[in-house]
Structures are given as C-alpha cells and as structure tokens.
Chain A
Amino acid sequence: RKEVEQDPGPFNVPEGATVAFNCTYSNSASQSFFWYRQDCRKEPKLLMSVYSSGNEDGRFTAQLNRASQYISLLIRDSKLSDSATYLCVVRSAGNKLTFGGGTRVLVKP
C-alpha cells in the first residue's frame, strides 16, 4: 500500500462549482500535512498547510481527519485558473516528505 494515496481524477468541474477530494495516508504517526499545486509539470508550490482543526484560505478549505487518516481539499466557486494537479504531502518522522500521486482538476467554462 502506498504511504499517501489520491484519486488521480480528472475532476471535471464547471466554472463556479464546488469540488472536493481526499487524500489518505497510511502512517498513523504522520505529523504534518500540506496541499501543493502543480501546473503542467512545473515545480510544485504550496497551496496551504493543513491545521488540525481545519483551515480556510479564500476559496480553499482543508480538513484533517486523524481518526480515519485522511485530509481533504475543497475548492469553492471554481475558476478556470484553478485547473491544475493538486498534490497531497505528508511529513513523517525524521522530516521525510512524501507526496501522493496527485489529483487533476479541470475547470471548464
């Protein structure tokens, strides 16, 4: 089983709609969680860190469920510019950073 798993998608989303997707992790001792965004195989960039109580950054909301070992990302009022691959990242002991395979989102007019 992979340490970090994501639905590869693509999620085809009408402009203005809401989309949500999850990421599961296998190591219950994982310490920190992040969502990164990657455009057209360019370098990944941090979208947001995920706090234990959940957090929001504009149209983006991240949640952590430690009991079920998953994190989620919700995008409201989707824009064409939100089309990208969203990468789930988990930090485990020793500051190892493990990426999921990515979820591709396509926002269409």
Chain B
Amino acid sequence: NAGVTQTPKFRVLKTGQSMTLLCAQDMNHEYMYWYRQDPGMGLRLIHYSVGEGTTAKGEVPDGYNVSRLKKQNFLLGLESAAPSQTSVYFCASRGTGGLAEAFFGQGTRLTVV
C-alpha cells in the first residue's frame, strides 16, 4: 500500500521561483492537510481540505495556495518562494470519524536560496 505519497522529496528553489508540491493518497480519505515543520518546532497547519473541491486556511497560509480538484490529490503551491519558506513540508490524509488516524507522507525538504 502506497498510503500518502509526496512529490518531490527534496527541492532547492531560488527566491522568487514558483513550484507545486503534490500529495497523493490512495485510501479514499476525505480530509487532507498540509503542514510545515521548522527546526525545533512542531507542525504548523498551512491549509487543509475536507473534501474534493474544498480548501480552508490553517495557521500559516500566507504565501501558499492549494487546490483539491481530485479527491486523491492535494496540491500546495508557492507562487514566489522566499527564504522564510525553507522548511520540511508534510502532507497528511485522514478518514471520517472523530478518532480516525491521520497518515503522513514522508515529507518534502524545501530550501529557498
């Protein structure tokens, strides 16, 4: 079982460049999430989606956009990358049910120079 797959796993961007991170899940989960994790910190929620075609802002949405055109995919876009967006990005998906487990991808390590 693939579970949650993030693409790419590593990326170096120059300031001002754009990119899209892809999260794909094969568990038919309704809910999907994008987080960033900086050194010594926990995961901070960027955006999330409670179903195909829906998105919502999390704690740190500025500088990011998302789309959920298909249930299995959740895309995170950086339109104009900044060094402050250097981080590890984790995607998660979760089924319905109050105590449903969230499954995470292996992370994308992004460096903006």
Residues of chain A having any CB pair with chain B under 8 Å: 3, 6, 8, 31-32, 34, 36, 41-46, 49, 51, 87, 89, 91, 94-102
Is chain B's interface secondary structure helix, strand, loop, or mixed overall? strand
Partner of B107, one of A34, A42, A94: A42
Interface-side segment among B65-73, B74-82, B91-99: B91-99
Assess whether A87 is in contact with B42, with CB atoms less than 8 Å apart: yes
CB closest residue in chain A, given B57 = A96
CA distance A23 to B104 in the complex (A): 22
Residues of chain B having any CB pair with chain A under 8 Å: 31, 33, 35, 37, 40-45, 48, 50, 56, 58-59, 88, 90, 92, 94, 98-99, 101-102, 104-107
What are 7 A-B interface contacts by the 8 Å CB criterion? Answer: A34-B99, A34-B102, A43-B90, A49-B99, A96-B58, A98-B45, A102-B42
Contact residues in A for B106 (Cβ distance below 8 Å): 42-43
Assess whether A91 is in contact with B43, with CB atoms less than 8 Å apart: no
Contact residues in B for A36 (Cβ distance below 8 Å): 102
CB closest residue in chain A, given B4 = A43
CA distance A79 to B99 in the complex (A): 27
**A41-B107, A96-B56 given; 15 more Cβ-contact pairs under 8 Å:** A31-B98, A43-B104, A43-B107, A44-B90, A44-B104, A46-B101, A94-B50, A95-B48, A95-B94, A97-B33, A97-B45, A97-B48, A97-B92, A99-B42, A99-B43
Q: With A44-B104, A45-B104 in contact, do A101 and B50 touch (Cβ < 8 Å)? A: no
